[in-house]
Structure 1
Amino acid sequence: MAYTLGIDIGTYETKGVLVDTNGVIHAQAARGHKMLVPQPGWAEHRPEEDWWGDFVFVAKALLADSGVDPSEIKAVACSAIGPCMLPVDENGAPLMNGVLYGVDGRAEAEVRELTDRIGEDTIIARCGNALTSQSVGPKILWLKRHRPDLFARTAHILTSTSFLVQRLTGEVVIDHYTAANFSPLYDVATQTWIDDLADDIVPLDKLPRLLWSNEVAGTITPAAAAETGLAVGTPVTAGTIDAAAEAFSVGVDQPGDMMMMYGSTIFIILRAQTQVADPRIWYAPWLFEGEHASMAGLATSGTLTHWFRDQLAPDLDPATAFPKLAEEAATSPPGANGLLMLPYFSGERTPIHDVNAKGAIFGLNLTHTRGDMYRALIEGIAHGTRHVTDTFAELGQSPARLLAVGGGTKNALWLQATSDITGIDQIVCEKTTGASYGDAFMAALAVGLVERADINQWNPVQQTITAHPTDTYDRAHALFRKLYEQTKDIAADLGAL
């Protein structure tokens, strides 16, 4: 029997699977870590401990639990949160913590400056995306300006996945899907690095070599084998961002397929027929040459449920708190007895791209319960999600089918509220393992063990969540949109205090 191994680094947890060529999972392993918030608006990981350390731990656990000989593992693929920004020296050693994706808004000034200098229309035309907190280019410029000593020592700018691949193979590479988030340094038409829009950010030779996600980047080095237990010479793919691997894990492969990932954030990927250029959403080449994807994401989703549990339900056992909170929320009717929550606890990404947006629980009175507030939180995330799906619809990009994935799919209240508020049915596949399962499939694909269509046999459909739209939710959504518009200036002023 041949096996492949997939490992994914998430915002709060690393997960891995060991899978055979029929898609059967022979071992699973996980390890938690923290997102560091050194100051408001910043978000970081420790690359040695949280990325490489977790990879080593999970890889060893998968080998130990499965009893599989490392030589039987025919390929390895990894994914990770992204896009991140990590400067490394000539030996590949990190020079600072990894700066995370759009939840980190430290480069707001650089985003504004570059947009003003280059022009938003030009950036979208060349790069496919407006500059936002999700863009890596402004964060590199932030590094150059605010940490000049580190920038002077920087040999390469990596992201989370490319850091893992470099540790495993010695190769400095990045997949095109991830690279498209490096605006204004990536041209979507030529699919190459560029510096003609802004030649003062970083020399292009400091950026990784571009590959497609189904390409092999290199093989396990003796040093990596000694640390991980994997066999020397095992092929390693270029990898990708976790959300893309998660989408592929549930069969997002045809134009019109959309993934909704319920994780620390809501992340949405539409396998698009053509490039869609609009400042409210993101674009990237898909995992394979000649294909396209449109993306969107909220800044805080599952993260909010953790915040609520820790701050407003300290009396509950953390191990059983979420089911208990869901029971309490189920006693509250749709609309949460007149409560609205803005879920912008770390600013917001799509479609408003507002790093100054703030969270709010609005409409409280003395009759409201914790269950009402938890329901309002779930519905607030769902309203934020509808804002995104409505934006896709305005662009003529409504999904042909929507596939839900991620840990949040275990929360029936969240799933149903999302379908009811967006008005879209959701498909849940048999395995909600997520990105690591998609990684294992991509590893098998890269070395010719499977065909793309085999993912439907690996992970068949299990259930469909049917939408039941209501007038209550339509009215609440209009108020949700109005609440943000009428308070965004106050939120921005609060941030300046």
Structure 2
Amino acid sequence: MTCFLGVDIGTYQTKGVLVDESGTILAEARRDHDMIVPRPGWAEHRAEEDWWGDFVHVTRAVLAQSGIPAEEIAAVACSAIGPCMLPVDTQGAPLMNGVLYGVDTRAAAEIDELTARIGADTILARCGNALTSQSVGPKILWLRRTHPEIWEKTATIHTSTSFLVHRLTGEIVIDHYTAANTSPLYDVATQDWTFDLAGDICEPRHLPRLLWSGEIAGEVTEAAAEATGLAPGTPVTTGTIDAAAEAVSVGVRHAGDLMMMYGSTIFIIEVTDARVSDPRLWYAPWLAPGTHASMAGLATSGTLTHWFRDRFAQELPRDTAFPTLAAEAAASPPGANGLLLLPYFSGERTPIHDPLAKGALFGLDMTHTRGDIYRAILEGIAYGTAHVTETFAEAGAAPARILAVGGGVQNEVWLRATSDITGLTQIVCDKTVGASYGDAFLAACAVGAAEPGDIDRWNPPAREVPPEDHPAYATQFALFKKLYRDTKDIAHALKGS
């Protein structure tokens, strides 16, 4: 038997999956971890424990569960949250916790300074993206300025995936899709690192070698084999960010295909036939030469459901809390009995790019129930998602097909509200495992055991969720956007309070 291993590191959970050449899942494993929030606006992971430790755990678990000899794994691919920022020393040891993607807003001052110094138009033209909390470049500059003692020891700046690949193979590489998030250090025209825009951020020696996601980065070393149970010499791909692997898992590959990922954040990727240049969205080369992707993401989505469960449903058993809350939300009508929620609990990424935005629950009265509030949270996320899909259309990239994936698709209220509020039909595929399954497919493609089109056979569409018309949603979507505009000054004035 020929098998393929895919492992994905998420914000709160790591998943591993072992599949055969037909895409049949032979074994799955998961391991939870926490997102560390040492202060408001910061978000971190422990690279040794949460990234490498989880990889080792789930890999050994799927090997034990399947009973398949490690020698029968033809290739390994991994993905992880990103873009992240992790400085390591000459031995590859982390020098601090990994700084997470756009939910971490610590480099707001560096973003403003670099934008003013370089020019917003120049950054967009050269890098394909405005500088936002999603950008790694300002976070590296923040590190260099605020922690010179760490910077002095820094040999390489990793993201989460490149850190895993280095542990597995000893190679220091990063894929182009991830690298494009390192603005202003990546030039989308030359598809190479650039240092002429801001040479004071770091030096060329600090950044990994560029490869495409499906390229083989190296082979499992003896040390990595001993730790993970994999066979020495097993090919390992370059890997990518989790959202990209998630898109692959449901067949996003043609221009106009859009992935709607329901996870800790809503993340959206649309494959396009040319570069979309809009400061409200993100751009990156897709996973192979000559391909393009336009992206968007909310700062908090599934994280809000976790927050609500942990703060306001503590009496519910943890394993049944979410189904119970979903049932309570389903008992509340569309519009949540007049409640509106701004889901900006960690600022917001696209399309407003406002790290100082605040969460808000508006319209409360003495009749509202926990179910109303939980429904308002799900609808608030859906309104934020609709704001993004509206932006795609305004940018000339209205999607032709939407494929929904991620743990949140199990929440029918959330899934249905998103279709109804956006006015778009969503397709849910047979397997909703997500990024780890996409990783396994990328591993199969990397060694010639599958072609990109084979994903339609591996994971065919299972059902559609067409939109239904609810007058409350049309009214409240307009009020949602107005509520942000009308409270923006207040939110900004609350900074530091």
Q: Classify the TM-score, shorter chain.
A: over 0.9
Question: What's the counterpart of residue 31 of structure 1?
Answer: 31
Q: Deviations over 1:140-169 (max 9, x none)?
A: 000000011111111110000000000000
Any stretches of 5+ residues in structure 1 without a counterpart? none
Whether the aligned pair in 2 keeps the contact of 1:103 and 1:133 (CA below 8 Å) is yes
Deviation at 1:316, TM superposition (A): 1.3
Q: Distance in 2 between matches of 1:310 and 1:29?
A: 24
Are residues 1:61 and 2:61 paired?
yes
Contact 1:13–1:31 at 8 Å: present in 2 too? yes
Aligned to 1:263: 263
> Which secondary structure state, in structure 1, belongs to the residue aligned with residue 305 of structure 2?
helix
Letter in 2 for 1:212: W
Q: Are 1:184 and 2:184 matched, yes or no? A: yes
Partner Cα distance (1:65, 1:375) in 2: 38
Does 2:302 align with 1:305?
no
User: Alignment partner of 2:75: what SS?
Assistant: strand
Amino acid at match of 2:391: T
CA displacement 1:211-234 (0-9 Å, x = unmatched): 000100000000000000000000
CA distance in 2, matches of 1:25, 1:370: 38
Paired position in structure 2 for 1:386: 386
Q: Give 1:469 deviation, angstroms.
A: 2.9
Q: Does 2:289 match 1:289?
A: yes
For residues 327 and 78 of structure 2, the distance between their equivalents in structure 1, rounded to whole angstroms, comes to 36
Does residue 50 (structure 1) correspond to residue 50 (structure 2)? The answer is: yes
**Which secondary structure does the structure 2 equivalent of 1:121 belong to?**
helix
Measure the CA separation in 1 of the matches of 2:450 and 2:145.
47
Instruction: Tell me, in whole angstroms, the C-alpha distance in 2 between the residues paired with 1:369 and 1:462.
Output: 34
SS at match of 1:8: strand
Letter in 2 for 1:393: A
Counterpart CA distance in 2 for 1:322 and 1:379 is 16
| Aligned counterparts of 2:63 and 2:325: Cα–Cα separation in 1 | 37
Query: Shift of the alpha carbon at 1:496?
Result: 3.0
The equivalent residue for 1:162 is 162
How far off its partner does 1:321 sit?
Answer: 1.0
Q: Secondary structure at the match of 2:494?
A: helix
Whether 1:101 aligns to 2:88 is: no
- Residue 188 of structure 1, CA deviation: 0.2
Render the CA deviation track for 1:269-309: whole Å, top value 9, x for unaligned. 00011101111000000001110000000000000001111
3-state DSSP of counterpart to 1:182 = coil
Amino acid corresponding to residue 125 of structure 1 in structure 2 = A
Q: 1:81: Cα distance to partner?
A: 0.1
Counterpart AA for 1:311: R
Q: Deviations over 1:299-327 (max 9, x none)?
A: 00000001111111112111111111111
One-letter amino acid of the counterpart of residue 406, structure 2: G
CA distance in 2, matches of 1:333, 1:62: 42
Tell me which residue corresponds to 2:336: 336
Counterpart CA distance in 2 for 1:329 and 1:452 is: 39
Query: In structure 2, the residue corresponding to 1:157 is in which secondary structure?
Result: strand
Supply the AA of the counterpart residue of 1:61.
A
In the alignment, is the contact (CA less than 8 A) between 1:79 and 1:241 conserved in 2? yes
Residue aligning to 1:349: 349
TM-score, reference length from structure 1: 0.99
**Residue 19 of structure 1, CA deviation:** 0.5
The separation in 2 between residues aligned to 1:124 and 1:494, in whole angstroms, is 30
Give SS of 1:252's match.
Answer: coil
Supply the distance in 1 between the matched residues of 2:332 and 2:88 (Cα, whole angstroms): 50
Name the amino acid aligned to 1:415. L
How many angstroms apart in 2 are the aligned matches of 1:337 and 1:224?
A: 55
Find the aligned partners of 1:485 and 1:26 in 2 and give their Cα distance: 50
In 2, Cα distance between the equivalents of 1:310 and 1:58?
26
Query: Secondary structure at the residue paired with 2:152?
Result: helix
Supply the AA of the counterpart residue of 2:237: T
Deviations 1:313-355 (A, max 9, x none): 1121111111111111112111111100000111100000111
Distance (Å, rounded) in 1 between the aligned partners of 2:147 and 2:383: 39
CA distance in 2, matches of 1:314, 1:224: 40
Give per-residue Cα distances to partners, 1:366-405, cap 9 Å, x unaligned: 0111111111111000000000000001011111100000
Q: In structure 2, what residue type is equivalent to 1:105? A: T
Find the counterpart in structure 1 of residue 409 from structure 2.
Answer: 409
Partner of 1:495: 495
Measure, in 1, the Cα distance between the counterparts of 2:262 and 2:326: 16
2:77 is aligned with 1:81: no
One-letter amino acid matched to 2:278: D
Q: How does 1:437-448 map to 2 (within 5 A)?
A: 437-448=437-448
Q: Deviations over 1:446-493 (max 9, x none)?
A: 000011100000000000001113322111000000000010111111
Find the counterpart in structure 1 of residue 225 from structure 2: 225
Shift of 1:204: 1.2
1:209 aligns with 2:209: yes
Partner of 1:111: 111
User: How far does residue 363 in structure 1 lie from its aligned partner after superposition?
Assistant: 0.3
Aligned to 1:479: 479
- Show CA shifts across 1:40-78 (max 9, x none): 000000000000000000110011000111110000000
Q: Does 1:200 align with 2:200?
A: yes
The count of corresponding residues between Structure 1 and Structure 2 is 497
Once residues 27 and 361 of structure 1 are traced to their aligned partners in structure 2, the CA distance between those partners, rounded to angstroms, is 42
Q: Is the 8 A contact 1:422 1:469 kept in 2?
A: no
Task: Give the distance between the partners of 1:472 and 1:150, measured in 2 at CA.
Answer: 53
Structure 1 Cα separation of the partners of residues 226 and 318 of structure 2 = 37
**Alignment partner, residue 436 of structure 1:** 436
Question: Do 1:180 and 1:186's aligned partners in 2 also have CA atoms closer than 8 Å?
Answer: yes
Determine if the alignment matches structure 1 residue 241 to structure 2 residue 220: no
Q: Which moved more, 1:242-251 or 1:330-339?
A: 330-339
Aligned-pair identity in percent equals 70
Alignment of 1:359-398 (within 5 A): 359-398=359-398
Whole-Å Cα distance in 2 between the matches of residues 330 and 208 of structure 1? 48
Structure 2: 5+ residue runs without aligned partners?
A: none
Distance, in Å, in 2 between the alignment partners of 1:45 and 1:308 is 21
Runs of 4+ aligned structure 1 residues displaced above 4 Å come to: none
Amino acid at match of 1:490: I
The residue type paired with residue 457 of structure 2 is Q
Q: Which amino acid aligns with 1:238?
A: T
